[in-house]
Amino acid sequence: MTRSPGLVVPLLGLGLGLALSLPGAVAADCGSLARAEHLAFHPVARTRWLTPRVRAPGPLDSLYGTVRRFLSVVQLNPFPSELIKALLNDPSSVKRDEVVRYEAGYVVCAVIAGLYLLLVPTTGLCFCCCRCRRRCGGRVKTEHKAMACERGTLMSFLLLTTLMLLIGMVCAFATNQYTHRQTGPSVEAVPETLLSLRGLVSDVPEELQAVAEQFSVPQERVSKELEDAGEKLGNIIHNQLKSTVYPMLASVHSLGQALQVSIDHLRALNATSAELQEGQQHLEPPVQAHRERLLTLLQEGWCHGDCKGALSRASALQLDADFSQVPPVDDVLHRLKGVPEANFSSMVQEENATFNSLPLLVAVEMADALKDLKKALAEQPEGVRMLARGFPGSEAASRWSQALEGLEQRSRPYLKEVQRYEKYRWILGCVLCSAILLVVVCNLLGLSLGIWGLFAREDPSHSESRGEAGARFLMAGVAFSFLFAAPLILLVFATFLVGGNVQTLVCRSWESGELYEFADTPGNLPPSMNLSYLLGLRKNISIQQAYRQCKAGAVLWNVLQLNDSYDLDKHLDIKQYTHKLQQELQNFKLDVKGLDLLSPAARRDLEALQGSGLEKIHFRDFLVQIQKPVVKTDMEQLAQELEGLAQAQNDSALRQQLQEEARELRSLYQEKVIPQQSLVAKLNLSVRALASSAPNLQVDTSEVLANVSRLKGELPAQTNLIIRNASECFLTREMGYFSQYVAWVREEVTQHIATCQPLSGALDNGHVILCDMMADPWNAFWFCLGWCTFFLIPSIIFAVKTSKYFRPIRKRLSSTSSEETQLFHIPRVTSLKL
């Protein structure tokens, strides 16, 4: 059923009327708008974990340690921070003598390598010319007592030198192969690392954008709750007022019923009084006539029986209650003419129905405002929308991502070239190692055949070819040593210079942290390489500390100390966004001006009752007459007594007269007195009801009229106070959803988004790849190759010396008594061709 707005506010006014007299009755009740529910946000941080690379322990670890200790002896100078600083900032200012001073150890090694490169081939050339003239590397011409000892010593040293060459060659082969095997994975790890870094850099804006897009979660939730916000606010108003409105309506209903009952009793009182007065007028003459006749009859001398007693009761036969003495109520009835004009029961029912439909009515009133709010909520706050763009380094991140992508693409051809040249180096290493192996084989074969020839020399019938062959193998080894000495020393020094500097300048300072300290020292790096400058940070960050934090799993927010350069609170400040919501809710008002709290008819009824003077009626005067009997004598008992007295009379005339009086008295009693008594009883009921209700009815009426008059002026403010309190409850709940979003964004940005573990992982992997997997095998390779290269010198010397003893010799006997020398020939010496 359609209700006019005028019925809503009167009902609210009635409840608020009582609320004004109850402290705290209009306090905000947020029970129906409980705390905001928990919102579920999708995590946006992507888990990235760069697989750490570790060199597995192996049998060459002790060799790597030896090489590092050797390089630490070669390079005793500390990390050249000033030299590197000048090289990075102003390369033209770098002095050559400073570089030489720092590379003093390598310069000494270069001098040694140069001497080796000059002397060994030159010696080999001279030895070759000497051999061509048969002046070098000949044979032992005489045998003396110490020859066996000399030969054994030389053979031992040659064998020992050969074993050292063999060990160095095996290690060189192993390290050469290991370096070649590690080059492929190490090269492939470079694009993988760049890709991981690119993903870290490029995903930061995407993750921040995903965070901003999830602002739709509280948006949708608030928008959904705004759909029934009006009904919820109406429920809050309803819940706050129902404990007051329902009793108030019950009181109004009771007052209306009491008014109706009082009016009915007053009308009954007036009508009954009139009837009693009229009946009194008709009753008094016959009663008086009967009294006079009975007094005459009972005073006769011939009356027998208890005539005196009957005479006494007959003398009391007269009216007692005089209803003409009761006060009139015509004026009161005149003032209450037409009351009640209003139907209080129907009015209360309508107001109850209207009050129960209050949530729906408020929803209708708020429909337009809520529609505007939902439209305003559809927009995203400027700070949230600019969350990703305002992030420090967001522009640099795009450039870095493109640079890393370009670097990755450009690095692939170079990495392929690295693999190709590494293959050449590996082949060259294999060739030179094979050359050393050839020398080792020649030495071992020469020693084996030479020793075999020495044992066979005792047999006169045995040929000297084995010893000669052994000598030739030794000389072949010498020839190979001279031949490969130059390429060996060149390869050793070239790899030594590169690998040694990588180890001492990069790896050693990397492990000790000097490299990070150099980068963290202000002024060492040019602005183009300053990380804080590149990221647009206001505060310089420590690379070493950032590395440690990244290694521990920290995010870029903490690592880059973005609290100083990025105002997250500013971007998450949605006050301007929520101000519209707050303003619309708090400005909503119900227009209750000009509305009465009672219907005009009900007000006229109450005002008529208040001015009727009902409470001024002297109901005691009514009660005084009501308490009196209608007739003083009990006419029924008198009639019975007269009938008994008539039986005792001898005079028939008297007896007949007494019987006639008794019959008439009984008839009068039935016709006149009993109806009069009924009217008295009716009057008594109305009088007592009005006497008890009239004072309270007047008080209740006065209070209701006073409350209604007072509430008419205060109703708008009080109604809007409840609405404002309810709106604040609703606003607090809706702001709770946005607060959850702000807290979630803060946690995501500062604790989850853009973990920089790939950065520390890339540095660790770079160190492992460069130092453990590349530099260590590389340095071990040149170390072993250099070992073999320098052991070629004693190998040449001992091989040349030893080969003399494997060739056939002419023995000369020496005695203490004679200086003559007796020549003798080795058996079948004629068969040897010298």
pLDDT digits (tens, 9 = 90+) for 264-295: 888 888 888 888 888 888 888 888 887 888 77
Q: How far is CA 503 from CA 68, 88, 437, 760, 777, in A?
A: 8, 20, 28, 20, 11
Query: Does 368 or 15 have the greater pLDDT score?
Result: 368
Strand-pair partners of 812 = 823
Q: Quick one: pLDDT at residue 22? A: 35
Query: Is the domain of 135 the same as that of 261?
Result: no
Q: Quick one: pLDDT at residue 271? A: 86
Domain's final residue, options 752, 779, 794: 752
Dihedral sign, CA of 361, 363, 367, 370? Answer: positive
Rounded to whole angstroms, how far apart are CA atoms 186 and 443? 38
Sorting pLDDT into bands at 50, 70 and 90, what band is 112?
Answer: very high
Q: Write out pLDDT tens, residues 308-358.
A: 777 777 777 788 777 778 888 888 888 888 788 888 888 778 777 777 777
Q: Quick one: pLDDT at residue 108? A: 92
Six-digit token string for 283: 């009753």
Query: Is the domain of 537 the same as that of 596?
Result: no
Query: Is the domain of 130 the same as that of 154?
Result: yes
Whole-angstrom Cα Rg for the chain: 65
Sorting pLDDT into bands at 50, 70 and 90, what band is 160?
Answer: very high
Query: Does 50 or 229 have the greater pLDDT score?
Result: 229
**Number of structural domains in the chain:** 2
Query: Is the domain of 403 the same as that of 476?
Result: yes
Crossing angle of helices 776-806 and 465-501, in 10° steps, is: 160
Query: Is the domain of 404 the same as that of 530?
Result: yes
DSSP label at residue 631: B
Rounded to whole angstroms, how far apart are CA atoms 265 and 329? 12
**Is the pLDDT reported for residue 136 higher than 70?**
no
Q: Quick one: pLDDT at residue 111? A: 93
Q: Quick one: pLDDT at residue 16? A: 34
Rounded to whole angstroms, how far apart are CA atoms 180 and 418? 11
Instruction: Tell me the average pLDDT across 259-267.
Output: 85
Would 728 be classed as within a structural domain?
yes
Q: Quick one: pLDDT at residue 114? A: 92
Would 564 be classed as within a structural domain?
no
Query: Is the domain of 717 the same as that of 627?
Result: yes
Asked whether 397 and 206 are in contact (CB, 8 A), the reply is: no
Domain's final residue, options 696, 717, 752: 752
What does the angle CA 362 – CA 367 – CA 371 come to, to the nearest 5 degrees? 150
Six-digit token string for 221: 């939730």
Would 808 be classed as within a structural domain?
yes
Sorting pLDDT into bands at 50, 70 and 90, what band is 5?
Answer: very low
Q: Is the peptide bond before 78 cis (omega within 30 degrees of 0)?
A: no
Query: Does 144 or 803 have the greater pLDDT score?
Result: 803
**Is the pLDDT reported for residue 63 higher than 50?**
yes
Q: Quick one: pLDDT at residue 187? A: 76
Q: Quick one: pLDDT at residue 191? A: 75
Q: Which range among 45-54, 735-744, 824-833 shows the weakest confidence by mean pLDDT?
A: 824-833
Q: Which range among 203-212, 224-233, 412-421, 738-747 shows the weakest confidence by mean pLDDT?
A: 203-212
Sorting pLDDT into bands at 50, 70 and 90, what band is 115?
Answer: very high
Q: Quick one: pLDDT at residue 92? A: 81
- Which phi and psi angles does 594 have, rounded to 5°? 80, 10
Domain's final residue, options 686, 719, 752: 752
**Is the pLDDT reported for residue 227 higher than 90?**
no
Rounded to whole angstroms, how far apart are CA atoms 737 and 747? 15
Instruction: Tell me the average pLDDT across 206-232.
Output: 79
Six-digit token string for 644: 């008994």
- Which phi and psi angles does 812 have, rounded to 5°? -125, 120
**Is the pLDDT reported for residue 258 higher than 80?**
yes
Sorting pLDDT into bands at 50, 70 and 90, what band is 163?
Answer: very high
Q: Quick one: pLDDT at residue 402? A: 67
Q: Which range among 119-133, 209-223, 367-381, 711-725 shows the weakest confidence by mean pLDDT?
A: 711-725
For 522-529, the CB contacts below 8 A with 24+ separation are: 523/85, 524/81, 524/84, 524/85, 524/88, 525/88, 526/88, 526/89, 529/88
Instruction: Tell me the average pLDDT across 291-308.
Output: 73
Q: Write out pLDDT tens, residues 181-218.
A: 887 777 777 777 777 776 666 667 777 777 777 878 88
- Mean pLDDT taken over the chain: 76
Name which of 109, 89, 30 is nearest 783 in CA terms.
109
Half-sphere exposure for 328 (CA within 13 Å, toward CB): 3
Query: Is the domain of 341 the same as that of 430?
Result: no
Which range, 53-67, 208-222, 229-243, 537-551, has the best average confidence (pLDDT)? 53-67
Query: Is the domain of 407 the same as that of 526?
Result: yes
Would 150 be classed as within a structural domain?
yes
* CB atoms near residue 94 (< 10 Å): 14
Query: Is the domain of 606 the same as that of 735?
Result: yes
Helices and strands in the chain, H and E counts: 29, 2
Rounded to whole angstroms, how far apart are CA atoms 254 and 273? 28
Rounded to whole angstroms, how far apart are CA atoms 500 and 69? 11
Asked whether 535 and 560 are in contact (CB, 8 A), the reply is: yes
Instruction: Tell me the average pLDDT across 560-584.
Output: 66
Instruction: Tell me the average pLDDT across 373-386.
Output: 71
Asked whether 523 and 718 are in contact (CB, 8 A), the reply is: no
Six-digit token string for 582: 């707050």
Token pair 């309508």 in the structure block, residue: 350
Would 330 be classed as within a structural domain?
yes
With 0-12 / 13-18 / 19 or more C-beta atoms within 10 angstroms meaning exposed / middle / buried, residue 281 is exposed
* SS3 state of residue 594: coil
Rounded to whole angstroms, how far apart are CA atoms 757 and 741? 26
DSSP string, 293-308: HHHHHHTSTT--SSHH
Query: Is the domain of 366 the same as that of 435?
Result: no
Strand-pair partners of 41 = none
Rounded to whole angstroms, how far apart are CA atoms 233 and 358? 10
Token pair 């403010």 in the structure block, residue: 717
Would 111 be classed as within a structural domain?
yes
Would 250 be classed as within a structural domain?
yes
Query: Is the domain of 723 the same as that of 798?
Result: no
Q: Quick one: pLDDT at residue 824? A: 40
Dihedral sign, CA of 697, 703, 706, 710? Answer: negative
Asked whether 240 and 26 are in contact (CB, 8 A), the reply is: yes
Instruction: Tell me the average pLDDT across 638-650.
Output: 77
Q: Quick one: pLDDT at residue 463? A: 55
Write out the residue range of the structural domain in which residue 330 sits: 229-374+591-752
Residue type, 177: Q
* SS3 state of residue 95: coil
Q: Write out pLDDT tens, residues 500-512.
A: 999 998 898 888 8
Rounded to whole angstroms, how far apart are CA atoms 371 and 230? 11
Rounded to whole angstroms, how far apart are CA atoms 16 and 24? 12
Name which of 180, 245, 179, 226 is nearest 578 in CA terms.
226
Q: Quick one: pLDDT at residue 822? A: 39
Query: Is the domain of 155 the same as that of 113?
Result: yes
Q: Quick one: pLDDT at residue 205? A: 72
Q: Write out pLDDT tens, residues 778-833.
A: 888 889 988 898 888 898 888 888 877 777 665 544 433 333 343 444 444 444 33
DSSP string, 553-584: T-BHHHHTTTTTT--HHHHT--HHHHHHHHHH
Q: Write out pLDDT tens, residues 471-503.
A: 888 888 888 888 888 988 998 899 899 989 999
Q: Quick one: pLDDT at residue 534? A: 60
pLDDT over 70 percentage in the chain: 76
